[in-house]
Amino acid sequence: MPTLRIDHKTVTVPENTTVLDAARGVGIEIPTLCFLPDCKQSISCQVCLVKIDGRMFPACATKAADGMEVESESSEVRNLRKTALELLLSDHVGDCYAPCQFGCPTHMDIPAMLRAIREGDIARAIRIIKNDIAFPAVLGWICSRPCEKVCRRKMLDQPVTVCQLKRYVAETDLGDDETYFPELLPKSGKSAVVIGAGPAGLSAAYYLTIAGHAVTLYEKNELPGGRMRLFPEDRLPLEVLEAEIDHLLSLPIDFRPTEEIPIHHHSFQELAANYDAVILASGAIPESCVADCGLVLTQNRPNVTSGTYETSLPKVFAAGTVLRPNAMIVRSIADGKEVAGVVDVFLRTGKIHPRPPIWSVRTHKPEISELEQLTQNADMNHRYFEPSPNQDNEYSRTEAMEQAARCLHCDCRAREKCRLFRYSREYGAKVDNFQESPRRKITIERGGDILFEHEKCIKCGLCVTITREAAEPLGLTFIGRGFEVRVSTPFDADMETALAKTAQKCIQACPTAAISSRQL
């Protein structure tokens, strides 16, 4: 049996073992896209490259040999894998995340929420919403709707009524006997203090508590809510605001109203001595406090490190209108979630990391003909309908499901199983390094609940092999030659007929989610 070393780890394997499997035997994961156990290797993607004796080889098709010295994680190998990924991305067309998710300051997974509503699963919808938004009912009333401004459905008729649907879900949940409460992570033994119970402070307290940290929340006024309480009743009913605040504060948050913390460097020093992290979310710093606050300021606003909300004082962070005086409420709520994420990592590791940017392939400015391809995913019979903004005129369950079904689902619904997405993100691959110009157009083939998005296919051949080995009467095949080759059905058959026996196996094997289920 051959003995070899992979990244300085020694392993002995049976004869005819590939380097890929040998690496897995010592806990080293080599990325693969075109590989599937028990299928003939096509060696087409080149993302499994390793360096052996000064030369590059695909790990999936290279047999382990005695005395081999294999490099899998050197910078040279990783750069070549990154280049391979970027070449695959050069003609990969389709959005990993929908435009509405980028438009929303909280980056809520709006298409996933809409799919849940469409299916009548309100419990799943509120879980998706609360993952990113602490006050969905409030925002359903007062949000300025940046997500709807970039909704592609409006290029065909009118945008999906995202905010109204979010409000429907949130108010339905608030009125339920089993109102949703997030599962709290085990206690971390760490503590944080939040100064200010406005939208940013309440949001930060919510997510830090869910993360398992002990949170103390100070508010100088008697009632929490900050500037959310300034809206007139017809814009934001007090009943809705107080219901969501009460719901949030029913979590184990040590809320201390009518206790004002002076904005002074001595106060920050004392808090930092008593707590593991301090979050300043108290609104604008008063002019009288500017000279003594101890923070490095620009235009009376704390200077924070980009992406971390970290101020010039150790363990002190800032978020909300103390940074952005004219921010939308949704922006402050997003700030609270984001600073909580940074502080959570800091409390667990002692390190402060910037929030990673959202990695995504994006199809900018699709043509109407391309959007018409996406209408296969949507209900085109029902039209835009938004109730009047008052409590007695809301969606019925049927109307909510109909409105949610209008979504074109521009996102990749199988994103989390897409290995091209995963590895591109891990390797920091750039989408546009080798971008085709002009890019290919979106084309979607559908048969039953099977979707085949041709411009996501990397021609790895796994689905072709699977259907051949399963003796599908039709199956899939390569059509064309050279750069124009594509995977499709023979004789122009539909996907449901071609994949009569192997649809789920092909969906599971596809490395880029080019083949997926409409129901995902």
Per-residue pLDDT tens over the stretch 354-372: 988 899 999 888 889 988 8
Tokens of 372: 């018409």
* Mean per-residue pLDDT over the chain, rounded: 92
pLDDT at 441 (0 to 100): 86
pLDDT at 87 (0 to 100): 93
Question: CB burial class (10 A; 0-12, 13-18, 19+) of residue 195?
Answer: buried
Average pLDDT over residues 483-505: 88
Residue 390 — very low, low, confident or very high, per pLDDT cuts 50/70/90?
low
- pLDDT higher than 80, residue 40: no
Average pLDDT over residues 236-252: 96
Query: Measured between alpha carbons, how far is residue 24 from residues 6, 41, 60, 267 in Å?
Result: 10, 17, 11, 53
Q: Are 28 and 74 in contact (CB under 8 A)?
A: no
Query: Could you tell me what percent of the chain has a pLDDT over 90?
Result: 71
Tokens of 115: 């799919």
User: Which residues, in sequence order, are CB contacts of 374 under 8 Å at separation 6+?
Assistant: 152, 408, 409, 410, 442, 444
Residue 389 — very low, low, confident or very high, per pLDDT cuts 50/70/90?
low
Q: Are 384 and 161 in contact (CB under 8 A)?
A: yes
- pLDDT higher than 90, residue 413: no
Per-residue pLDDT tens over the stretch 131-170: 999 999 999 999 999 999 999 999 999 999 999 999 999 9
pLDDT at 257 (0 to 100): 97
- pLDDT higher than 90, residue 237: yes
Phi then psi for 377, rounded to 5 degrees? -90, -5
Structural domain 3-73, CATH architecture: Roll (3.10)
Give the number of other CB atoms < 10 A from CB of residue 464.
18
Lowest mean pLDDT among 107-121, 275-289, 328-342, 426-440: 426-440
- pLDDT higher than 80, residue 39: no
- Rounded Cα distance, 3 and 8, in Å: 12
Residue 375 — very low, low, confident or very high, per pLDDT cuts 50/70/90?
confident
Residue 520 — very low, low, confident or very high, per pLDDT cuts 50/70/90?
low
Residue 293 — very low, low, confident or very high, per pLDDT cuts 50/70/90?
confident
Query: Could you tell me what percent of the chain has a pLDDT over 70?
Result: 98
Structural domain 191-349, CATH architecture: 3-Layer(bba) Sandwich (3.50)
Per-residue pLDDT tens over the stretch 83-142: 999 999 998 999 999 999 999 999 999 999 999 999 999 999 999 999 999 999 999 999
pLDDT at 222 (0 to 100): 96
Picking from 311, 211, 284, the residue whose alpha carbon sits closest to that of residue 253 is 211
Residue 391 — very low, low, confident or very high, per pLDDT cuts 50/70/90?
low
Query: Measured between alpha carbons, how far is residue 436 from residues 88, 90, 428, 433, 514 in Å?
Result: 11, 6, 19, 9, 19
Lowest mean pLDDT among 121-130, 260-269, 305-314: 260-269
Average pLDDT over residues 218-241: 96
Lowest mean pLDDT among 294-298, 392-396, 414-418: 392-396
Q: Are 244 and 170 in contact (CB under 8 A)?
A: yes
- Rounded Cα distance, 20 and 159, in Å: 47
Tokens of 496: 């449901």
- pLDDT higher than 70, residue 393: no
Helix axes 397-404, 110-118, angle to 10 degrees: 130
pTM greater than 0.95 (yes/no): no
Tokens of 427: 């390797």
Residue 519 — very low, low, confident or very high, per pLDDT cuts 50/70/90?
low
pLDDT at 289 (0 to 100): 86
